[in-house]
Structure 1
Amino acid sequence: MRNSARSIVANLGLLAFGAVLFSFSVNAVIVGKGLMAGGLSGVALLLYYLTGVGGPGLLYFLCNVPLMVLGWVSLSRRFILYTLFGMGSVSALMQLLPQRTLIADPLLAAIFGGALMGAGSGIMLRSLGSAGGTDILAIWLNQKYNMRIGQFNFFFNLAVFAAGLAFYDPTLVLYSIILSYTNSQVMDYFLSLFNQRKMVFIISDKADVIARDIIYNLKRGATFLHGAGAYTGKSKRVILTITNTVQIKRLEELVFDHDPNAFFVVENTFNVLGEGFSRRKVY
């Protein structure tokens, strides 16, 4: 129960903090220069610029309502409840925070606004929910019709910017494409920043003692894989372990202290699910 309560608080905290960054970027940078964004937030901003009705937060909320209904009947309730909190937080903050022009230059506004929006989106996606938007529809289409999520997002954003070119200032739309690209790059960076892991293969004649030190000194798990030397035909036990960037140097020293002739192979890995690492996000 205590772990469950901590998990709920941590996820709500990530969603709330990400929503603040996302909404601040919209109200303090993006709206002031008349820029758009990708996804459903881009649709809401375009409608706001063209009609002036309500506000970007209210329009974002209204656009999300049918997607929330779709998600409630087709995706996991836990994911939708967290996403409902994230989407509601973004909508409320976009509606309540004052609109101003923090950066005068449109190019700098596109880069900074996209970076701030990407940071907020990435932090929210590190939780068990999201900020809503096209993610829900993309996941549903992937599960229902096996459409790739990236493919759907690409064509959706293409349609949004095409509508912007047809009904809005083309120069601002081009700046908005820069904003959207920056957003996606920074979001990917934040998604990987908190989950960078190193997958390590160790080939050594002293595999037993090395594995024991990994378990008891580094407090990491280890698995023996059975292999054989292609040249000698001699059986080998290969150690597989997962560690983080902080411990990788300690692991290297541990291995070569035991066996200076060991093979030590390191691979970057983005997502590790299981005990001691990340929890699986159920959609």
Structure 2
Amino acid sequence: MILGNEYDMLKHEAVSKEDTTMQKTTMIVIRKCLLIMLGSFIYSVAINSLLLPHQIGEGGVTGLTAIGYYALHIQPALTNIVLNSIILLIGFKLLDKKTIFYSLWCVVWISIFLKLPPIFQYHTKQTLIPAIIAGVFMGIALGLIYRADGTIAGSTIIASILNKYLGVQTGSAMLFCDLLVAIPSGFIIGTERMFLTMIELYISAVVLNIFNDMFGAKYSIKIITPKVEQMSASLSNQLKQGITMVHTHGYYSGEERAMIYIICSKKQSAKLFPLIEQIDPNAMIVLEQVHSVAGHQLNMLK
């Protein structure tokens, strides 16, 4: 009878843990979907209220939608969802299914928001101003979408593939892909607006890289200290994750020693340095930014 009660208690605890895990997973998915919706809204505002009214182009699929709108009066929402659906099918085998799902969610909402009337009417002869503002808006929007593991498909799918397999910064890879569309668009929108488009794309890429460095960048920390066990225990407790130990050999001293290797976020790294100095002020620390990280611990760093 006692064994039966213990079994029921263990079963109840296991079910409770499973329910808690499912609730946390659901909340994460909801948060990411809302974040993508916000990014999609900002992105659509930049197109509807800043780019299209001033006949400024864009890169990637968005650039093609703008060209279709200027030359053939095709609704951007229609072009956006058709072309991006094709590109998502291409990226289906190269990117994880989670990214594809969030990207599809993003494409749908961008298409919905593009069908809405402009949020504000801003017209000026100084077309450099809307190009700069649109670049900032798009950089922030893309940062939010990437932060939620999504993309706007199009050139961002290609940029994600380059980041994942070659370690190229997302903003830089996207700028290169977008220019392949933006430069030929000069035949439709004119040379002046083509240069404005290039300025907008550059600003967007810079803002996106800054956004990723501030909120999404991952860093590797290498620590060499004689207090390895104490340091590892404290850092693992602080990060709530495992610590990698790398065996090293000093050429000059001939001494063998373990080196602590950690992947963490920028926010986490700021908390680790005071802890490291408290345990061993003479510890050697190497901090490097990592352009691409893959693995199951990646979600723990967010």
Contact 2:46/2:134 (<8 A) preserved = yes
Change (3 A) 1:265 1:103: farther
| Unaligned segments of structure 1, at least 5 residues | none
Change (3 A) 1:65 1:208: closer
Q: Equivalent residue for 1:237?
A: 258
Change (3 A) 1:249 1:130: closer
Q: Equivalent residue for 1:88?
A: 108
Q: Equivalent residue for 1:52?
A: 73
Contact 2:57/2:189 (<8 A) preserved = no
Deviation at 1:81, TM superposition (A): 3.1
Paired residue secondary structure (1:110): helix
Identity of aligned residues (%): 24
- 1:60-75 correspondence to structure 2 within 5 Å: 60-71=80-91
Q: Counterparts of 2:88 and 2:31 in 1: how far apart (Å)?
A: 22
Q: Equivalent residue for 2:191?
A: 170
Paired residue secondary structure (1:198): strand
Amino acid at match of 2:196: Y
Deviation at 1:241, TM superposition (A): 2.4
Paired residue secondary structure (1:231): coil
- 1:152-167 correspondence to structure 2 within 5 Å: 157-167=178-188
Paired residue secondary structure (1:241): strand
- 1:184-223 correspondence to structure 2 within 5 Å: 184-217=205-238, 219-223=240-244
| Unaligned segments of structure 2, at least 5 residues | 1-21
Amino acid at match of 1:112: I
Paired residue secondary structure (1:267): strand
Q: Counterparts of 1:247 and 1:72 in 2: how far apart (Å)?
A: 33
**How many residue pairs were aligned?**
276
Deviation at 1:192, TM superposition (A): 3.3
Deviation at 1:42, TM superposition (A): 0.6
Please report the TM-score for the alignment, with normalisation by the length of structure 1.
0.81
Q: Which moved more, 1:106-115 or 1:128-137?
A: 128-137
Deviation at 1:203, TM superposition (A): 1.5
Please report the TM-score for the alignment, with normalisation by the length of structure 2.
0.77
- 1:41 maps to 2:62: yes
Q: Equivalent residue for 1:18?
A: 39
Q: Counterparts of 2:281 and 2:119 in 1: how far apart (Å)?
A: 62
- 1:257 maps to 2:257: no
Deviation at 1:106, TM superposition (A): 1.0
Q: Which moved more, 1:133-142 or 1:105-114?
A: 133-142
Q: Counterparts of 1:6 and 1:163 in 2: how far apart (Å)?
A: 44
Q: Equivalent residue for 2:135?
A: 114
Amino acid at match of 2:65: A
Deviation at 1:5, TM superposition (A): 1.4
Q: Deviations along 1:126-163, whole A, 9 cap, x unmatched?
A: 233322223446778999xx9x9989966754442343
Q: Counterparts of 2:214 and 2:83 in 1: how far apart (Å)?
A: 31
Contact 2:214/2:266 (<8 A) preserved = no
Contact 1:33/1:101 (<8 A) preserved = no
Q: Equivalent residue for 1:126?
A: 147
Amino acid at match of 1:118: G
Contact 2:155/2:174 (<8 A) preserved = yes
Q: Counterparts of 2:136 and 2:24 in 1: how far apart (Å)?
A: 33
Amino acid at match of 1:82: Y
Change (3 A) 1:169 1:100: farther
Change (3 A) 1:93 1:153: same
